Amino acid sequence: MTQVHHHELSGVIEFTPPKYGDHRGFFSEVFKQSVLDAEGVEARWVQDNQSFSAAPGTIRGLHLQAPPFAQAKLVRVLRGAIFDVAVDIRRGSPTYGKWVGVELSAEKWNQLLVPAGYAHGFMTLVPDCEILYKVSAKYSKDSEMAIRWDDPDLAIAWPDIGVEPVLSEKDAVATPFAEFNTPFFYQG
């Protein structure tokens, strides 16, 4: 049975599906719609994305897309380990600007659901990380937004792995949280 852990932020859920092994290797049902349905997850998955990061300390994020292309994400690690972060960006939410961070790894076999209305990012903790994630809407360049990964107002406790962060040009100049105009509103 899949282990389910609800994090402090509404809708952020960690799933760890069972893994059955023997002398040949293992088998696992890594995605099962009925498990998400049982947790009230209403996302309809339209696409799988895969990324590879060679260097430890690679940061991707904090990213989001504005409606109507807002994306929920179901993130898992195929190889390596990451520190995965979700930030509540729903104006009026009691947890607006709060974040949750989870270590996801191929070894732990866990996944993180990041609902629409949250910014998402991750840091690779080891070399050669491959990440696979489902998204609930297609990519739209015009709807793309980013918030600074190291914004002091968010105060995300990124792990110190002893290397300088590796960033894209876009992430290096992302919007500070104080200047971010969220397109999401809390519907409590």
> Does residue 164 sit within a domain?
yes
Amino acid letter for position 142: D
Domain housing 100: 43-179
pLDDT, mean of residues 121-129 = 98
User: Which residues are 86's β-sheet partners?
Assistant: 100, 120
What is each CA distance from 108 to 15, 18, 62, 89, 112, in whole angstroms? 10, 11, 23, 28, 12
- Residue 22 belongs to some domain of the structure: no
Checking if the pLDDT of 129 tops 90, the result is: yes
Residue range 49-84, pLDDT digits in tens: 999 999 999 999 999 999 999 999 999 999 999 999
Does 119 map to a domain?
Answer: yes
Note whether residue 38 is domain-resident. no
The answer to whether position 31 is within a domain reads no
**149 alpha carbon, distance to own chain's centre:** 13
Task: Name the domain count of the chain.
Answer: 1
Q: Check which CATH number belongs to the domain holding 136 and give it.
A: 2.60.120.10
Q: What is the pTM of this model?
A: 0.95
* Strand 129-135 versus strand 73-79 pairing type: antiparallel
| Residue 59, in any domain of the structure | yes
* CB neighbour list of residue 23: distance below 8 Å, 6 or more residues apart: none
pLDDT band at 34 (very low <50, low <70, confident <90, very high): very high
pLDDT of amino acid 161? 97
CA distance 37 to 155: 33
Taking 90 as the threshold, does the pLDDT of residue 188 lie above it?
no
Beta-sheet strand order (sheet of 129-135):
3-6, 13-16, 111-114, 73-79, 129-135, 47-53
Domain annotation covers residue 19: no
Domain assignment present for residue 66? The answer is yes
Active site residues: 63, 133
- State residue 140's pLDDT score: 96
User: Average pLDDT in the 156-173 region?
Assistant: 97
At 125, is the pLDDT very low, low, confident or very high (cuts 50, 70, 90)? very high
Query: Sorting pLDDT into bands at 50, 70 and 90, what band is 31?
Result: very high
* pLDDT-derived band at 147, boundaries 50, 70, 90: very high
